[in-house]
Amino acid sequence: MIPFIFLFFFSDSLVLKYLEIGEIDSVRNRCNHLGHCPPFVLAEVAYFRHEFKKALKLYVKVKPQNKFAKIALKRRMIINENREEELKEYVEAELLIRRGKIKKGKEILTNLTKSKSSISGWSMLLLIDVFKNEKNYKKITSLISSFLKQNPTSFHLPFIKLELARAYRCMGATKRAKEIYKEIMLEYPTSPVSSIAKEEKEGL
């Protein structure tokens, strides 16, 4: 299962556990019982219940200095960029994965990687996380290679290429990993991914 980052600002263990395993109705019921929950938790509940307009309003309330501001921003981008039909499929896949139904979740995500919208890139990144959890680096390299051919202008390319380099590194293909790190640095010099690639390349 994809690792879940625990909420440092909230200590109710049941809420955290329910959210981690995708029991969204239980999270909502627990929050109602407690009488409060942080905006990020409420936003996640709305997001997984396909209440996207409500989720957006709640994610906006997550302050920039908050530990989960980047996650909230990512959710806002996913919601704003994609059609509701595909968005629902993506969210369903993420929920299935949290609930341990990995195979079905992967099937949905694989289909979404063929989309012409930005959901393809988001789906690929989530698929990569799943296969990283399974330590299936060979599958990652295969998936990414196909994706790069089909989506040469995707917004997500720097991030996906970084994951490709990491997969080769984990497979022991150091030379190939270095080549990809170098490509990232040359092709995306102003991207924050470039500095990450430089640091990881120097560590090989």
pLDDT of residue 159: 93
pLDDT band for 12, please (50, 70, 90 cuts): low
Name which residue leads in pLDDT, 172 or 9.
172
Burial of 51 (0-12, 13-18, 19+ CB in 10 A): middle
Model confidence pLDDT, tens digit, residues 118-176? 899 999 999 999 999 999 999 999 999 989 988 888 889 999 999 999 999 999 999 99
Q: Could you give the percent of the chain with pLDDT greater than 90?
A: 68
Name the DSSP class of 100: T
Name the DSSP class of 204: -
Relative orientation angle of helices 39-48 and 52-60, to the nearest 10 degrees? 160
pLDDT band for 45, please (50, 70, 90 cuts): very high
Q: Is a pLDDT exceeding 70 seen at residue 3?
A: no
User: What is the average pLDDT value for the chain, to the nearest integer?
Assistant: 89
pLDDT band for 20, please (50, 70, 90 cuts): confident
Q: Is a pLDDT exceeding 60 seen at residue 16?
A: yes
